[in-house]
Amino acid sequence: MRSSWSVLWGVALLCACSQALEWRRVQPTELGARALFPCRPASLAREVTVLRTRAQMVMFACAAGGSTYAVAGMTVSDVGDVTATMKFMRDAAARNLDAAEPHVRAFAVPGMTPNPQAGRSTVVGRRPDGSAVTEHLLLFAYGASVYQASVVSDKPDESAVATFFGGLTVTP
């Protein structure tokens, strides 16, 4: 999952967003979710390995106000793997930041399928260069589709994180 972390940072560097938060609703058909981004997101699609299985992941991300905002989604081949996939993604986020396993708090995204691994976490850790970083992470699912929304920053704006996560909706 470290390569997904690299992809997130790569997309953030390619984004041509201003520092001001200019919220806009984005509903890409290939994602299956609607999001409220504070800047114009760029998109990226690639194959990733999750639980020893390859899956196509689609990501939309941008950087504004010192934070990187991203929503990624993929469909697993077996709906029975959704819970394990979400746990894998949360654990990978902690490993990527050399952080302890985060505590999961309930968070409902309109239209999501209930799942015991769905919810919001805060991961506080270090980048590969050793600098401190915080990742607000939200995992949710719809059927066999698994979604990850994140805000990554040295000091995330809690209000902007709440607006970003509150603007998510599953659009089957």
**How confident is residue 29, by pLDDT bands cut at 50, 70 and 90?**
confident
* pLDDT given for residue 1 in this prediction: 52
User: How confident is the model at residue 10, as a pLDDT?
Assistant: 46
Listed residue (82, 70, 67) closest to 137, CA to CA: 70
Confidence band of 101 (pLDDT split at 50, 70, 90): confident
Q: Would you place residue 12 in the very low, low, confident or very high pLDDT band (cuts 50, 70, 90)?
A: very low
Question: The pTM is what?
Answer: 0.86
Provide the residue range defining the domain that includes 91: 2-170
Q: How many domains does the chain have?
A: 1
| Spatial contact of 56 and 74, defined as CB atoms under 8 Å apart | yes
The CATH number linked to 136 is 3.40.1000
